[in-house]
Structure 1
Amino acid sequence: MKTLKKILLLLALMSAALGSAQETITNESVIQMVELGFDDYMIIDKINTSNVKFDASISALGELKKAGVSSEILSLIMDKSKQNTKSKTGIYYTDASGQDKLIQPSVFSGSNSNAVAQKLVSGLINSKQKAQLPKTQSNNVIRQSQPEFMFIFDPSVTEVDNMQNNQGSDAGIFNWWFRMASNPNEFVLVKLTVKEKKNLREVITGKESWITSSSGIDPKYALNFSIEEVEGNKFKVTPAPLEPGEYCFIYQGAIPQGRDNQSVFDFSIQ
């Protein structure tokens, strides 16, 4: 019996240790500790010995300040936030479980044009160039109408460096969008048209008539979003409320030599 009790006690201690190791300290956790009367040194020690997920945007820091969080703790939160975002370039959203999820780029599977229809009416309408994505729904499912996205760029590589870098380095090959760009203004947010019968999603990427031609996303299709700088290379992006459907962020900035822009960062609102 004593042996059984020892085993149960050991299992309980291991479970407690595991739970402690997996605990994540957030802005709300810090506010809660302040409201409970924890001393600064206790809060600092807790932050330094735990996993953390802090929002260090100006508005979030303001809320912490209003809650009575000291300048020393605010400074630590800002430092921890910088450490967490280092080398994690890309676009992130928070999934239903509260975890940050990276949106991997999806590659266009094909293109379509109604140039034939244009010729039939002697150029009276524009020929629309459309890029297509496979499947009718993104793998990135977000169950809220106004999600927050985190854009993280690489501040260590300049635009000139990228333009000169043709091949052979991380800056030119992997996730180059976030090394070329410096802020979310170089991306546009658009709603994708779902084609159920063809099992695909598509977006208009250019127009052409017998007089003029244009490429890129028409500004009238671009959806509004707000941008808040969190750190020098980290931005919180919040779109206007979105109705259920398929969406994507498309890079519209300069393209480095040897690269193409045949990928988008897609997500589904449900």
Structure 2
Amino acid sequence: MKKQTILFFFLTLLPCALFAQSDSIGIYMLNGDVISQIEPIKNNGYKANTLGAAVSMGIANSTIRVTFKEPTSKNKANRDTSFYFYYNPNIGNNARLLMTYYMFATGVSPEVDFSLVKFIKKGKTRELKTGTVNVYAGVNINTETNTNARFLVTKVSDIKYKVTLHDVDPGEYCFMYDGINGSGAYMPVFDFSIE
């Protein structure tokens, strides 16, 4: 009877073990023993501060910012939270996955593909500084990280990476894809709050 019970559990759990990670893609966070996926969020607008440029007749820079809804993330983390990045180069023809998680189909690793960025809180929104414009110097598209926080990446398998945060202060953060010349804030970001 004992062998039959063990065989039953083995046969029942084997498909779960084989297929549990096959559909995982994106960023997950582990708080204690609770794991949850961080869904990407999209920006809801752009701002440019042109007052300084106007007063200085174009000499001063105008700051470009991307805004995001809500003053805080629904994803609550702490300094001990671990993040797991799942890459899946075999998305196939699933259009929804390709449009939402393309960076995990063609990426290399979190340390190459992503930056940790701290949001600037502005009333009921959060913002990322994404560049400057100057009449004489031109346009500089480059998202500022606004933080000294770092993250350490440990490769778990060919498609799974564990990410831990270091020197992080409480605030609103996101992992931002850096695939297109530092202009990642124009694409979906993966946000979370450090409490």
CA distance in 2, matches of 1:253, 1:50: 41
2:65 corresponds in structure 1 to 130
User: Compared with structure 1, are the counterparts of its residues 233 and 222 closer, same or farther at alpha carbon in structure 2 (3 Å cutoff)?
Assistant: farther
Residue type of the alignment partner of 1:204: K
Deviation at 1:47?
A: 8.6
1:190 corresponds in structure 2 to 117
Deviation at 1:45?
A: 7.3
1:169 corresponds in structure 2 to 95
Match of 1:155 among 65, 89, 93: 89
Stretches of structure 1 that go unaligned for 5 or more consecutive residues are 1-40, 53-79
Q: Which has the higher helix share?
A: 1
Q: Which has the higher strand share?
A: 2
CA distance in 2, matches of 1:223, 1:252: 17
Residue type of the alignment partner of 2:66: A
Stretches of structure 2 that go unaligned for 5 or more consecutive residues are none
Deviation at 1:132?
A: 0.7
CA distance in 2, matches of 1:132, 1:200: 7
CA distance in 2, matches of 1:47, 1:261: 47
Which structure has the greater CA radius of gyration?
Answer: 1
Q: Does 1:252 align with 2:173?
A: no
* Cα RMSD, aligned residues only: 3.1
Does the Cα contact within 8 Å between 2:76 and 2:193 map onto a contact in 1?
Answer: yes
CA distance in 2, matches of 1:45, 1:225: 42
Residue type of the alignment partner of 2:83: F
User: Compared with structure 1, are the counterparts of its residues 123 and 151 closer, same or farther at alpha carbon in structure 2 (3 Å cutoff)?
Assistant: same
User: Compared with structure 1, are the counterparts of its residues 85 and 114 closer, same or farther at alpha carbon in structure 2 (3 Å cutoff)?
Assistant: same
Q: Does 1:95 align with 2:95?
A: no
Does the Cα contact within 8 Å between 1:216 and 1:252 map onto a contact in 2?
Answer: no
User: Which SS does the other structure have where 1:85 is aligned?
Assistant: coil
Q: Which has the higher contact order (CA 8 A, sep 6+)?
A: 2
Q: How many aligned residue pairs are there? A: 184
Does the Cα contact within 8 Å between 1:251 and 1:261 map onto a contact in 2?
Answer: no
